[in-house]
Amino acid sequence: PPKGVYLHGGVGCGKTYCMNLFYDALPSDASKQKVHFHKFMLNVHKQMHKAKMINKLQGDAILENVLQTILEEGKVICFDEFQVTDIADALILKRLFTGLLEDGAVIVATSNRPPRDLYKGGLQRDLFLPFIDLLEETSVVVSMWESDMDYRLVGVSSESHNRGPHRVYFVDGKDDDGRGKSSKDEFEELFNTLTKGSLINSVILDVQGRQVFVPKASEEYGIARFSFYDLCGKAKGAADYLAIGERFHTVFIEDVPKLRYHEVNLVRRWITLIDALYECHVKMVVHAATTPDEMFTVDLENEHCDEVFAFDRTRSRMEEMRSEAYLKKKWVGSRPR
């Protein structure tokens, strides 16, 4: 069987771009699918629960049912942002990938970690190591770490950050347009302009039996508004953030603080939030205490922690999300990317 490809490298080095070129080069009628790894694993757990509770399957039949569902979507599977942070994912991956490969799947993945660094420091990592062996045996592993340019930042100009239609990131206290308005006033003005006087009310989203509260939303115009602590102050995961991204094409977020290393839950939730909104091509308008570049800093002692690696991607995506090219992207919501 043909080997897959595992591309790993730093933020913005072109991993996803290369994978997209490969995906787009395949015939349109080819059996293929492209999915963010976070979302893929959420769907796997959801399908396993359904197979067990609704279809009343047991043992190996549960995983076999999930495998067939996955393969119906496409046998060439492209995973963006392959990362393992959850023990539930770690313990199932070897069986899942073994089944996919035996059934003829070809796996292409991008990651900011080499295979041997996946799930580093995770609980019961010794049980995860056989999956790394499998991944290396069945993939051509390609390092892109020699590229030191973040290509996603090329299209981001300083002018677009501060003025005109691309002004979607507001730093507390700054008056960048010279009109004497505070950044909070401008943030408020943009919200009012885009919602056009429509009804603003709260909305509750149902996510796998849980409720996600949206404090302010214009359902008529597909716009939601949150504070940072609405989104990250309480336990939320990728499924919750994807539900928001699939419901609203524009999300306003205010009161975003400067994050500290010891606030690890806030940092992780913000990272997951940005990944989810980016995946859905959501337009994000932010009012923050500082710039993306200064939002999360750590001391030398902690500079190699997982959150620092992950926040490099987050910082880059926040920069890209206020570029003209990103703002021109079509919101994809829950449709296939």
Structure tokens at 113: 């970690």
Cα–Cα distance measured from residue 37 to residue 170, given in angstroms and rounded to the nearest whole number: 31
The pLDDT of residue 65 is above 50? yes
Q: Compute the average pLDDT of residues 59-80.
A: 92
Q: Compute the average pLDDT of residues 53-79.
A: 91
Please write the tens of the pLDDT for every residue from 161-201.
Answer: 445 445 889 998 765 555 567 899 999 999 998 888 888 99
| 4-143 and 155-327 have identical folds | yes
Across 43-52, 104-113, 211-220, 308-317, least confident range? 308-317
CATH placement of domain 4-143 = 3.40.50.300
The pLDDT of residue 159 is above 70? no
Cα–Cα distance measured from residue 36 to residue 303, given in angstroms and rounded to the nearest whole number: 26
The amino acid occupying position 147 is: S
CA-based torsion, 237, 242, 244, 250: positive or negative: positive
The pLDDT of residue 6 is above 60? yes
**Residue of 228, 309, 217, 209 whose CA lies nearest to 269:** 228
Q: Compute the average pLDDT of residues 20-34.
A: 94
Please write the tens of the pLDDT for every residue from 250-299.
Answer: 999 999 999 887 788 898 999 999 999 999 999 999 999 999 888 887 55
Q: Compute the average pLDDT of residues 296-303.
A: 57
Q: What is the pLDDT of residue 157?
A: 38
Residue-wise DSSP of 136-178: HHHEEEEE-TT----GGGTT--HHHHHSGGG--EEETT---SS
The residue ranges of every structural domain in the chain are 4-143, 155-327
pLDDT over 90, % of the chain = 51
**Average pLDDT value over all residues in the chain:** 85
105: helix, coil or strand?
Answer: coil
CA-based torsion, 256, 193, 284, 170: positive or negative: negative
34's torsion region: left (phi>0), alpha (psi -120 to 50) or beta? beta
The pLDDT of residue 21 is above 90? yes
Q: Compute the average pLDDT of residues 222-242.
A: 94
Q: What is the pLDDT of residue 307?
A: 63
Cα–Cα distance measured from residue 157 to residue 316, given in angstroms and rounded to the nearest whole number: 14
CATH placement of domain 155-327 = 3.40.50
User: How are beta strands 210-218 and 223-227 bridged, if at all?
Assistant: antiparallel
The amino acid occupying position 28 is: S
Residue 257 per-residue DSSP state: -
More confident residue, 156 or 277: 277
